[in-house]
Structure 1
């Protein structure tokens, strides 16, 4: 009788342990489900934000192109902005090629201080930097008009690969 009672107790303890393990496994499975759902939502939000930021950068490029054409912005400033936006968009060399003039002007003037550093420069240094900016702008202005015209309707053309 003692043996049968012990077996019954052990059986009940075993069943309770198994039920507890099933409950823990179910709880962990539910937590995993919630985490996957949350991660998918976060990923979708991040992708939407990245997509919006890319579209904003593309629109900014168009605005800069139009502003340069309307002589509302100088070539130097346009070049800095265009180069930085194209870097942000991670454009390939072939996508960037029609706008190379902006990269070249930017390369010639990127050493020049901006914002507060510009304000802190002595007048003589500012004049020297302004001369460098004007030289670069005059050297590239004819090429920049064509590039800005194209930039005003900028679209990213993705490479497509066809399979047979």
Structure 2
């Protein structure tokens, strides 16, 4: 072999080695990012589960209004696990959400005249009477069976 061929082989080998090293570096970054993403999703999922546990407990203890609790639980369930949100045992949260989704919130609620507010409040009372037992059963089911219990050993 001539010195030129040997030099070209050495350069080619070094170039392939450098490219392989760079590819390995990039793959390690991808794997690290995937691991970090999975950890973040796990933490988010655990935080949503804990928020759902708190809301279900508050709903059972009557620490928040039934309608508000049902709406909040429904929204969190959709973010936590859409299949769980579609479970027939959680159907009451969806029903209450749909029955109240046209009601104005925040500043729009404050801007309503008192007659309109009373009309919505009467609707809330009727919905609460109709769905309170089912909502309480659903909240109890979430706490006892559907959501992970941080106090239990895994």
What TM-score results when the alignment is normalised by the length of structure 2? 0.82
Q: Distance in 2 between matches of 1:99 and 1:125?
A: 30
1:77 aligns with 2:88: no
Match of 1:111 in 2: 102
Q: Secondary structure at the match of 2:144?
A: coil
d(CA) in 2 for partners of 1:94, 1:74: 20
| Deviations, residues 72-117 of structure 1 (Å, cap 9, x unaligned) | 1111111111111111123326972212111111111122232344
Distance in structure 2 (CA, Å) of the matches to 1:16 and 1:116:
77
Please report the RMSD computed on the Cα atoms of aligned residues, expressed in angstroms: 2.4
**2:46, 2:119 → 1: CA distance?**
37
> 1 or 2 for the larger relative contact order (CA 8 Å, sep ≥6)?
1
Report deviation, 1:42: 1.1
Taking the aligned partners of 1:101 and 1:52, their CA distance within structure 2 comes to: 28
The counterpart of 1:21, out of the listed 12, 15, 27, is 12
- Of the two, which has the highest radius of gyration? 1
CA 1:13–1:146: 2 relative to 1, 3 Å: same
Runs of 5+ unmatched residues, structure 1: 1-7, 158-164
- Partner Cα separation in structure 2 for residue 19 and residue 70 of structure 1: 76
Displacement of 1:38 in angstroms is: 1.4
Q: Distance in 1 between matches of 2:82 and 2:141?
A: 16
- Take 1:18 and 1:116, find their aligned partners in 2: how far apart are those partners? 74
Matches within 5 A, 1:60-75: 60-75=51-66
Is the counterpart of residue 45 in structure 1 residue 36 in structure 2? yes
TM norm structure 1? 0.77
